[in-house]
Amino acid sequence: MANMRMDKNPMPEQDPRARLGNFDEAALGYSAEAAIDEAKRCLNCKEPRCVQGCPMAVPIPAFIAKVAEGDFKGAYDTLFAVSNLPAVCGRVCPQESLCEGRCIRGIKGEPVAIGCLERFTADWHIQNGGPSPDDEYAEPNGHRVAVIGSGPAGLTCAGELVRLGYEVTVYESMDRAGGRMMLGIPAFRLPRSVVEMEIVRLENLGVEIVTESTVGKADSVDALFEQGFEAVFIGSGAGMLLKLNVPGEDLPGVLSAKDLLMRSEELAAGVMAGKHVAVVGDGDMAVDAARTALRLGAADARVACTKPVEALPARREEVRRAQDEGVVFLPETKVTEILAGEDGRVRALKLSGSGPDELAADTVIVAVGTGPDPLLLHTTPGLGATESGGIAADPVSCATSRVGVFAGGDAVTGVGTVIGAMTAGRAAAAGIHKYIQENPHQ
């Protein structure tokens, strides 16, 4: 008998004041009792709208039914058969516009808390042994594939291919694998240990990851083919900084959100003590930067955003958590100039829009986004570009204009979502498998 309560079991959270003093996760996760109770709100629909709303078509009612029975291992196995990164997706997917946005229970009340249940299931697995040593290796099929980039697109592509018996090597520029999941989304939303655990799981399946190796500098895509790889997947993301393009952008006191978020955990706790911070941007990066500034000691953090708060392309519950922590949003506001004081440092933002004409600030964080880096386009003959500077790829097979080279995720679309990148990684693995089966040892 389904639990017909209208509202979700709330996600327990660290107190907003307390969490400003640490980088620990703000959301604490369901207990087993809350998870079972929430799972019983699912109607196990015959034609589940939630699955239609999920880009990866995760078998949502099937895994939730296992949670409702208390069979958490069964729930995990059901999830992991389709998604390589369930502990990540449960935390950062914009469920409100995907699965939960379509859930039938959301018509008259709140939808089933699918994300919270996914997170619970993946965390239960981690807490009860995590990556299992007896993960089965697929029989090697004798074919080698190189993957460029270890974000969700590259890791998913690699994970799918090793399950088919391919020998897969992932090349990553940074000293850590994980892409924006590791060096972007802050730890108070996605703990590093969670990403590491998901990566270990893939390594146990046989994925090899080589860090501090930038393809296009040390080795080119052509060199990878010469080394015997039969196909290459490019999942290099969209890590190139975009500028605000207003006067004053180079003043002392202006920082990039990308740099701040990449270094946030290395910075000393009080490095922004007493600062009056203004963030410019609309998306997750802007919200994350403002919350990070407060954790680093800023006196206040205001976000100048071009849209109404309820229409921001940032996750709704994270906007709410940011507001609980004291972040103030200035909606429908355009920044036209960054103004200097007599000391030559930032003193204010000049604004146009519905609010004030000026916003005083001694620190400005630019979070207007990032775009695909052209390095691989420049160093790979035959690779075509999209109009917006990404790598052009077929939307179904992810094949590019260069034979044997596939691409997906933010490198193709510009900044998107983790689940979007994973979906592309899975499609590319299918495209690569078909290509190699039809053209062995090209």
Ligand X SMILES: Cc1cc2nc3c(=O)[nH]c(=O)nc-3n(C[C@H](O)[C@H](O)[C@H](O)COP(=O)(O)OP(=O)(O)OC[C@H]3O[C@@H](n4cnc5c(N)ncnc54)[C@H](O)[C@@H]3O)c2cc1C
Query: What residues line the site for ligand SF4 (CB under 6 A)?
Result: 42-45, 48-50, 60-61, 103-105, 112, 114
83 near ligand X, judged by CB under 6 A: no
Residue 67 vs 391, nearer CB to ligand X: 391
Which of ligand X, ligand SF4, none does residue 368 bind (CB under 5 to 8 Å by kind)? none
Say if residue 71 is exposed, middle or buried (CB neighbours under 10 Å; 0-12, 13-18, 19+). Answer: middle
Residue with smaller CB distance to ligand X, 364 or 421: 421
- Partner from ligand SF4, ligand X, none contacting 103, C-beta within 5 to 8 A by type: ligand SF4
The DSSP secondary-structure symbol of 12 reads P
Distance CA 337, CA 354 (A): 16
Q: Verify binding: residue 239, ligand X, rule CB under 6 A.
A: yes
Q: Does 418 bind ligand X (CB under 6 A)?
A: yes
Q: CB atoms < 10 A from the CB of 359, how many? A: 20
Q: How far apart are CA 371 and CA 390, in angstroms?
A: 8
Residue 331 or 420 with smaller CB distance to ligand X: 420
Residue with tokens 């992810």: 398
| Residue 30 vs residues 34, 97, 114: alpha-carbon distances, Å | 6, 22, 12
Binding status of residue 92 toward ligand X by CB under 6 A: yes
Q: Which residues pair with 240 in a beta bridge?
A: 371
Nearest to 235 by CA among 164, 162, 175, 156: 156
Please give the residues from 296 up to 315 whose contact with ligand X meets the rule CB under 6 A.
315
Which amino acid belongs to residue 63? F
Smallest separation, CB 370 to ligand X (Å)? 7
Residue 100 C-beta: closest distance to ligand SF4, Å: 8
Sketch the per residue contact string, 185 through 224, with ligand X: x for CB under 6 A, - otherwise: x----------------------------xxx--------
Selection from 329, 325, 320, 257 nearest residue 291 by Cα: 325
How far is Cα 63 from Cα 71, in angstroms, rounded to an integer?
9
- For residue 158, the minimal CB distance to ligand X (Å) is 11
Residue 404: contacted member of ligand X, ligand SF4, none (CB under 5 to 8 Å, by partner type): none
* Residue 284 binding ligand X, by CB under 6 A: yes
Sequence-separated contacts (24+) of 6-11 with Cβ below 8 Å: 6/108, 6/109, 6/110, 7/109, 7/110, 8/38, 8/41, 8/110, 8/111, 8/112, 8/113, 8/116, 9/34, 9/35, 9/37, 9/38, 9/113, 9/116, 11/113, 11/116
Which residues, in sequence order, are bridge partners of residue 277? Answer: 301, 363
CB–CB of 339/350 below 8 Å?
yes
Size of the site for ligand X (CB under 6 A): 42
Q: In whole angstroms, how close is the CB of 124 to ligand SF4 at the nearest point?
A: 19
List the single partner that 417 binds among ligand X, ligand SF4, none, CB under 5 to 8 Å by kind: ligand X
Provide, rounded to whole angstroms, the least separation between the CB of residue 53 and ligand SF4.
8
Site string for ligand X, 127-166 (x = CB under 6 A): ---------------------xxxxxxx------------
Question: 234: helix, coil or strand?
Answer: strand
Cβ distance to ligand X smaller for residue 39 or 148: 148
Residue 115 within binding range of ligand X, rule CB under 6 A: no
Residue nearer to ligand SF4 on the CB measure, 49 or 192: 49
Confirm if 36 and 68 have CB atoms less than 8 A apart.
Answer: yes
Footprint of ligand X (CB under 6 A): 92-93, 148-154, 171-174, 179-181, 184-185, 214-216, 235-237, 239, 261, 284-285, 288, 315, 373, 375-376, 409-411, 415-419, 421
